[in-house]
A and B are shown apart, each in its own frame.
Chain A
């Protein structure tokens, strides 16, 4: 009898421990994201592994691209070390769940900022890091030149993207009957297009340019002039932690502001003894900018030292020296007629 009672008691004990353990975890959740990251010793970034130039796994297995460097910049801001980061390749469908559950600290994965993602998906967006628009790629010999020529066409698209919705919107507007072929990965969608199972492939124009270079005969394809939608791509974090979204936002702003100040990875040290008060504040030589965010005083210096300014990032991954050779266009500084504008560091 005693044995059975003992067994019963021990079951209850186990359960209460389990429940207690759970509630303890809940306590961790209410800790600030910054503390969680610092405790862990590294940042976890959700990225793309499929789009050269933005997020891609290089032949040596390392991640490279614009979004990757932005994630590294956040790591540099927090730890002063751009390598204190772990990348999680995410599909378009997985990305929001990964943010919602706190699986990743920051999502920099060609994600379009929209109202519903901000409000009902529970994301908080940092400033836009790339202004893009949706385009369509077709075969040159297909005779398709405008959207109207796509009547009855099969169009391959990645599921769970704004692209999927914009395509439906545009086609509805023009009254065109088409057949969407929806894949759960970009590689599959491109491969179906390349093999001729689909007439067209649609995604953001920058991604089209980058995917075109990976096709077996890039010259046989071209991108339609028409732009289907606005696609402002921005890093995002889980909603509800204002300190953490501030850190990511100001990391992005720092990249842009650095370009405006013409501070680069190479010459940042020379600016440390600059006399200009704005630059001294910016680099953390004086003032408490870092402290206000809960970061080291020199977090901007660390970011620039680690990855350079926005212009350098762009040139390194998408600029004239790369296979993509993308025009800066809207992604120039506001002083050059573009849309990039950082609020003051003050």
Chain B
């Protein structure tokens, strides 16, 4: 039998163990070849018109200014620093946008399932309108019809003397740091940790003893006491409120949100939240009805059912699609160039047309978005793992 099989040994191209590997190797080689071909082709045609591939332009002087910036930037800084300013602006709009879109999305999503007719109808209209129109159109509408149509600065709309709305930006009260802000922050964080510990301890005692131990009151008291101690140590306010005032060409004090940033942020939040709302609604509806009925049978309040029974189960279904909405929001922020908010792509385009380094600039933009998206996915995956059902 041994002899027989060796004589009729299967040739490798018929071997079921070899073929899949072989095909994958061939596929990989083809992909690499295609990549190499495109790259050398691009280099070749660049050479034809006398262009040199390279990133050394990043250390050259930028010679242009950027309006919105989180760090100091002047026209004598380098292109590299200009990119960093752009990346920070992207992170700023993405970070604030994700937080606001999540809050709004959850509120609307839950409202859509509410028994309140008005809340349900408003939420449905909102979702259908914002989910079904193109984002760029929405950004233009917010920019031209809302933010640029606000009155000129002299006649700004004034709310309580704290908020000013003008077509040159929206000014909101902001805080100025004092010398002891850092100490306040550290002691406040310690206070939060302490109060959390106290809350856990009291809650445990309550569960074990079966008597009310008021864990929430205890925790609040801990924070208040820690703040009091901080006050005694520093004898200074942590932050000073700075209220905006109208000056001829802008606002003094407070924090000014430019019309471009405002339009982009509002548009991104409204658009993404409409998708998140649907994801939340789907997640909640996927929780089996028996769970709610069982909770009701135990006599739990509606709010308690939502908080302790429905959401913890729904969140497991919500997180994966939620992650892709976050990624969409980050990538959609690149539409900002249309409304003069200089984030990564806006700065990139300026650099590109000043240096002519198209391939290099585009590759930087791709790389930054890729790493931001991968980082967001990673964080969300960690969170996802944490919320998954732990089998006991």
Q: Which residues of A contact B (CB under 8 A)?
A: 1, 4-5, 8, 11, 15, 19, 22, 26, 29, 92-93, 95-97, 100-101, 116-117, 120-122, 151-154, 156, 159-161, 164-165, 167-169, 171-172, 178-185, 188-189, 191-192, 195-199, 238-240
Q: Which residues of B contact A1 (CB under 8 A)?
A: 13-14
Q: Which residues of B contact A180 (CB under 8 A)?
A: 64-67
* Cα distance A4–B19 in the bound complex, in angstroms: 10
Q: Which residues of B contact A5 (CB under 8 A)?
A: 13
Q: List 5 A-B contacts (CB under 8 A).
A: A22-B41, A26-B44, A93-B349, A151-B249, A185-B338
**Of the candidates A4, A97, A100, A182, which one forms a contact with B350 in the assembled complex, judged by CB atoms under 8 Å apart?**
A182
CB distance from B154 to the nearest CB of A (A): 10
1-59 of chain B: CB within 8 A of chain A: 13-14, 19, 23, 26, 30, 33, 37, 41, 44-46, 48-51
Q: A22-B41, A167-B65 are in contact. Are A172 and B51 (CB under 8 A)?
A: no
CB distance from B126 to the nearest CB of A (A): 28
A192 to B356, Cβ gap below 8 A?
no
* Cα distance A156–B259 in the bound complex, in angstroms: 13
Q: A159-B353, A160-B349, A168-B63 are in contact. Are A120 and B337 (CB under 8 A)?
A: no
B354 to A196, Cβ gap below 8 A?
no
**Of the candidates B30, B45, B355, which one forms a contact with A29 in the assembled complex, judged by CB atoms under 8 Å apart?**
B45
CB closest residue in chain B, given A7: B23
CB closest residue in chain B, given A238: B49
B259 to A93, Cβ gap below 8 A?
no
Interface centre among B148, B167, B339, B346 (most CB of A within 10 A): B148
A117 to B356, Cβ gap below 8 A?
yes
Apart from the given pairs A152-B248, A168-B75, 11 other A-B contacts in the complex at a CB distance below 8 Å? A8-B23, A8-B26, A159-B349, A160-B349, A164-B350, A179-B67, A183-B338, A191-B148, A195-B149, A196-B167, A239-B49
CB distance from B50 to the nearest CB of A (A): 6
Q: Which residues of B contact A196 (CB under 8 A)?
A: 152-153, 167-168
In the A-B complex, the 10 residue pairs with the smallest Cβ-Cβ separation, listed nearest first, are A160-B353, A121-B356, A168-B75, A122-B49, A196-B152, A152-B249, A197-B167, A195-B148, A184-B337, A168-B65
> Do most interface residues of chain A lie in helix, strand or loop, or is the interface mixed?
mixed
B103 contacts A by Cβ under 8 Å: no
**Of the candidates A8, A96, A152, which one forms a contact with B250 in the assembled complex, judged by CB atoms under 8 Å apart?**
A152
| Interface size grouping (class) on chain B | 35 or more
* Cα distance A22–B19 in the bound complex, in angstroms: 30
* Cα distance A169–B74 in the bound complex, in angstroms: 10
B328 contacts A by Cβ under 8 Å: no
CB closest residue in chain A, given B11: A1
CB closest residue in chain A, given B148: A195
CB closest residue in chain B, given A95: B353
A182 to B342, Cβ gap below 8 A?
yes
* Cα distance A1–B10 in the bound complex, in angstroms: 11
B340 contacts A by Cβ under 8 Å: yes
76-108 of chain B: CB within 8 A of chain A: 76
B260 contacts A by Cβ under 8 Å: yes
* Cα distance A199–B48 in the bound complex, in angstroms: 44
CB closest residue in chain B, given A92: B353
CB distance from B156 to the nearest CB of A (A): 11
* Cα distance A303–B346 in the bound complex, in angstroms: 40
B260 to A181, Cβ gap below 8 A?
yes
Q: Which residues of A contact B144 (CB under 8 A)?
A: 191
* Cα distance A224–B144 in the bound complex, in angstroms: 27
B309 contacts A by Cβ under 8 Å: no
Q: Which residues of B contact A182 (CB under 8 A)?
A: 66-67, 340, 342, 346, 350
B352 contacts A by Cβ under 8 Å: yes
CB distance from B13 to the nearest CB of A (A): 7
A22 to B37, Cβ gap below 8 A?
yes
A156 to B354, Cβ gap below 8 A?
no
B49 to A240, Cβ gap below 8 A?
yes
Q: Which residues of B contact A197 (CB under 8 A)?
A: 147-148, 167-168, 259
**Of the candidates A8, A95, A156, A172, which one forms a contact with B340 in the assembled complex, judged by CB atoms under 8 Å apart?**
A156
* Cα distance A92–B64 in the bound complex, in angstroms: 15
138-164 of chain B: CB within 8 A of chain A: 144, 147-149, 152-153
CB distance from B48 to the nearest CB of A (A): 6
B19 to A160, Cβ gap below 8 A?
no
* Cα distance A194–B359 in the bound complex, in angstroms: 36
A240 to B48, Cβ gap below 8 A?
yes
285-327 of chain B: CB within 8 A of chain A: none
B358 contacts A by Cβ under 8 Å: yes
Instruction: Please encode chain B, from 218 to 249, with 1 for each CB lying within 8 Å of some chain A CB and 0 for all others.
Output: 00000000000000000000000000000111
Q: Which residues of A contact B74 (CB under 8 A)?
A: 172
* Cα distance A326–B249 in the bound complex, in angstroms: 32
* Cα distance A179–B63 in the bound complex, in angstroms: 14
CB closest residue in chain A, given B247: A152
CB distance from B205 to the nearest CB of A (A): 58
Q: Which residues of B contact A238 (CB under 8 A)?
A: 49
* Cα distance A31–B249 in the bound complex, in angstroms: 56
B168 to A15, Cβ gap below 8 A?
no
* Cα distance A169–B339 in the bound complex, in angstroms: 24
A171 to B356, Cβ gap below 8 A?
no
CB closest residue in chain A, given B149: A195
* Cα distance A238–B51 in the bound complex, in angstroms: 11
**Of the candidates B63, B147, B338, B358, which one forms a contact with A165 in the assembled complex, judged by CB atoms under 8 Å apart?**
B63
**Of the candidates A96, A122, A171, A184, which one forms a contact with B65 in the assembled complex, judged by CB atoms under 8 Å apart?**
A171
